[in-house]
Structure 1
C-alpha cells in the first residue's frame, strides 16, 4: 500500500509536495482504514480524493507517479536522456534534479525508496527498509559530475557472504549513470529487491483520464464472475445494458488494420507473442482489442453490450454505440471487480469524467463495500465532483486540495490540516473559496460595447 509520495522540482511542483495516505487519529469511517503489517504499524487510508482548479497540479501529480513508475520498470537505454520535467519558471530549478520519494507498505515490509534525476544522470538513489520497529539502510547511490556511480550498501542488504557482496558490487559497477540501481539489480536477478520492483510493476496502477485500466474485451470471454459483476452493476446503474459479450476472430492485418507498415506489423506481432495487448481503432472506427489467445494465435476481439427492448426483443450494440458516460463507467468498473482480488493501488485521473454525480458517489461507496476488512487495496483519484466532498462519504484526511501561487508553483494540503467544524457544509464552503483550490476568475479589465 502507498503510505506517502513526495515530488520536488517536477512540472509545476517547485518545492516539495507531500501526499500522504497515513490516517490521522480520527475515528470516522473505520472501514476506510487498514492496519499496517510492519513494525511501525500506522493506519493506512483506502481512499483519497484530490481537488483543485484546472491547471493547479492534480494531473501533474499523477504524471509524476507514472514517470517514476516507468523509470523503475522500464529503465533507460544507454546514451538516452531521462525524460524528466523540472520546474521551468525559476532559473535555479532548471539546473537542479527532480526528486521522487516513496514510502510503501508491502508484504509486511515498509520501503522508503526514492531518487533524484535530471536529463543526464541519476544524482541520488536510496532505499531504507523497516520490517520491525527499527529501520535498516539497504543502499545509497550517488552519481558524481564525472558520471561515476558509487553505491554504499548496508549490512542487511549486502549480507555477510563474501560472494554475495562481490556480486552486488559488480552490479553497482555495471549500473549506468542514467539507470536506477534498483532496475539494474532486479535485471541482474537480485532477489531481495524483487518485491519492491513488483510493487511498482504489478500493484501500482496509474490510469489517465483518457484510458482504461484493462482491456475489457479479453476478460469478457474468459472470466464468468467478472462478466456477471459488470452486468449487474451496469444494470443497477440504469445504463440500459443487460449483458456483455465479446466477438472474437483471427487477426487479419489487411482487413482489420489496412495500411499498417510491414515493419510496425512485425513489431506488433512479436509483442503479441510476448503477451502484449493492444486496443486500436479499426477501419470502421470500432475499438478492436488484439492479443494472443491460449494457443498463441493473434486474435481480434470486439466488445458487445446486450439490450432488451419491447416484447423482450434483444439487440447487441457496439461499445461505441453507448453514451460516453456509460463507456467511461465500463472502463473503470474493473477497479471495483478486482478490489477484493489482491493488493492494488489505483491512481485515477478524473474518476468522475462524464459520470453523473450519483454514479461517482455509487462508485466510491461500492469500492469500500467490495473491500474486505483486511483487503489491501487503495483508490486515489482526482475529481471536480463536489458532491463527494461530504463527511458522510469521505474522512477529512481523505480530501486533498491543490493550489498554485502567482509563480505557477503548486502545493497540496489535506483538509485535515484545516480547522473545519464537523457540521460545516463542505461543498458550499469549498466553492466559496474557503479551502482554496478553486479558480480565481477575474472580470474583463475593459468592457467593449459591440453593436449587434
Structure 2
C-alpha cells in the first residue's frame, strides 16, 4: 500500500513534487486508483519513471551500479549539479514506513528509513554522507543493520544490501519494493511480453481463462492463446510449485478472513499470516524464475488464434493495440491477485477508451480487487478519468501535470 511519493530533480521534474494517494479525510485509506493527466511533454512520463527509478535503485544499486562511478540518476538538464531526491511512505507487513534517499553526481549523500508503528515515528536508520545512525530500537547486534554499515559503498544504498544480506529491520521495506511495487514505462520488446504472458497463462487453467475472457472482451479478434507444454526437465518442479502456491494462497485467504484460523495455522505450522505471505511471495518468485529459465532455453511457444484463421499468429505479427493489451493484462491481473501497487505510463496509448476503462474498473470494483491493489496511471485523456469517477463510489484521486514557462513539470491536485 502506497500513501505518497515525492521526487525532486528527476528529468523534467526539477522542483519538489509530491503525489498523494490518500484523500483529505482524516484516517482515509489510499484510493484504489490515482490518475495523473496533462498534455504532452508536461512531465507525466517523468513522474512514473521517477517511481521506477526509486524501485530500481533499491533493488539494483549494490549489484547493478558501477562501483567506480556515481549513482545512476537523470537530473533535469538545467539543474544537473543539483541533487536528486526520492521518498515514499508505504505500508509493509502492517507497519507504515517512510523511505528516501538523496543522490548527487558522486555519491549517495543521504538515506533514511523510518517506521511508524501506532503512529509513532521510529528511526530505523539515517545516513548523512559517510555517517550512518541506527535508531535506538534497532540495536545493531539484534537486528543486523550494524553488520551492513561497513559494507555499503558511498555510491550504493544501504537498503539494497538487504537483498543480499539479511537484516531483520530492513526486510519488510526491501520486500515491499521487490514484491509490492511494479512500474510499466517505456517500450517493451515482443519477446519479453511473450514470456510474461506465457508464464501467467501456464499457472493454472483458471488463470488462463480469466485473462482470455478479458482479451476477448477487447474485440481484437483473438479467440484463444496457445503455449507450449513445459519442458520435461522442468515440468515436475513447476507442477509442485503451482500446487504449493495454490495451497499457500488458500491458507492465506482463510487466515485473513478468520483470526481464529490464523491462530490455529500459526500453532500448527509456526507461521503468522505475515510469515505465510512472505513464503507465498517467495514461492511465486521461485516459480517465475524457474519458468524464465525454461523459456530462455526453448522460447515461450506462444501462439494467438484469431477468428476465422487456422494458423496461429506469432506475437510479432500482432497489431500495436494487441501488443499493448498483451503487455498490460498479466501485470494488471498479478497486481490484483497480490495487492500490489502498479504504475502505468500512458495507459490508454494504443488502446481504445473502452478497453482502458475496463482495466481501470478492475481496480475500482471490490469483487475484482479484494486485496486492495492500487493503480497509478497517466493519460492525456481527461474523459477517461471522468468516466471512472462517474461510475464508481470508490473515486479516483486526480492530479494534473502542467509544463511551466521554465520548462519544468508541476504537479497539482485537481
Instruction: Specify the TM-score bucket, using the shorter chain as the normaliser.
Output: 0.7 to 0.9
Q: What do the CA deviations read for 1:95-134 (whole angstroms, capped 9, x no partner)?
A: 2211111111122111111010112111111111012121
Taking a change above 3 Å as real, the CA distance of residues 376 and 106 of structure 1, as seen in their structure-2 partners, is farther
Match of 2:16 in 1: 16
Structure having the larger proportion of residues in strand: 1
Q: What do the CA deviations read for 1:199-233 (whole angstroms, capped 9, x no partner)?
A: 11111101114237771123333431221012212
Match of 1:193 among 167, 170, 183: 170
Contact 1:129–1:137 at 8 Å: present in 2 too?
yes
Taking a change above 3 Å as real, the CA distance of residues 134 and 408 of structure 1, as seen in their structure-2 partners, is same
- Aligned CA RMSD, in angstroms, stands at 2.8
Are residues 1:152 and 2:133 paired?
yes
Q: TM-score, normalised by structure 1?
A: 0.71
Mapped partners of 1:19, 1:297: distance in 2: 38
Match of 2:180 in 1: 203
Aligned residues between the structures: 350
Are residues 1:130 and 2:129 paired?
no
Q: TM-score, normalised by structure 2?
A: 0.77
Q: What do the CA deviations read for 1:56-79 (whole angstroms, capped 9, x no partner)?
A: 111011111111211111113421
Contact 1:120–1:178 at 8 Å: present in 2 too?
yes
Match of 1:291 in 2: 292
Aligned-residue offset at 1:308: 3.8
Deviates further, 200-209 or 181-190: 181-190
Contact 2:335–2:342 at 8 Å: present in 1 too?
no
Match of 2:142 in 1: 164
Mapped partners of 2:96, 2:313: distance in 1: 47
Deviates further, 317-326 or 116-125: 317-326
Match of 1:37 in 2: none
Taking a change above 3 Å as real, the CA distance of residues 393 and 116 of structure 1, as seen in their structure-2 partners, is farther
Mapped partners of 2:214, 2:288: distance in 1: 28
Instruction: State the structure with more CA Rg.
Output: 1
Mapped partners of 2:367, 2:121: distance in 1: 30
Match of 2:69 in 1: 80
Taking a change above 3 Å as real, the CA distance of residues 168 and 215 of structure 1, as seen in their structure-2 partners, is closer
Structure having the larger proportion of residues in helix: 2
Taking a change above 3 Å as real, the CA distance of residues 298 and 86 of structure 1, as seen in their structure-2 partners, is same
Are residues 1:414 and 2:413 paired?
yes
Mapped partners of 1:216, 1:372: distance in 2: 20
Relative CO higher for 1 or 2, CA cutoff 8 Å, sep ≥ 6?
A: 2
Taking a change above 3 Å as real, the CA distance of residues 298 and 321 of structure 1, as seen in their structure-2 partners, is closer
Contact 1:234–1:241 at 8 Å: present in 2 too?
yes
Match of 2:272 in 1: none
Contact 1:244–1:304 at 8 Å: present in 2 too?
yes
1:319-334 to structure 2, matched below 5 A, reads 319-334=315-330
1:219-234 to structure 2, matched below 5 A, reads 219-234=200-215
Match of 1:178 in 2: 155
Match of 2:32 in 1: 46
Mind listing any 5+ residue stretches in structure 1 that lack a counterpart? 26-39, 144-148, 251-273, 279-289, 416-452
Mapped partners of 1:393, 1:414: distance in 2: 21
Mapped partners of 1:199, 1:112: distance in 2: 12
Mind listing any 5+ residue stretches in structure 2 that lack a counterpart? 232-285
Mapped partners of 1:200, 1:371: distance in 2: 26
Match of 1:238 among 219, 243, 252: 219
Match of 1:285 in 2: none
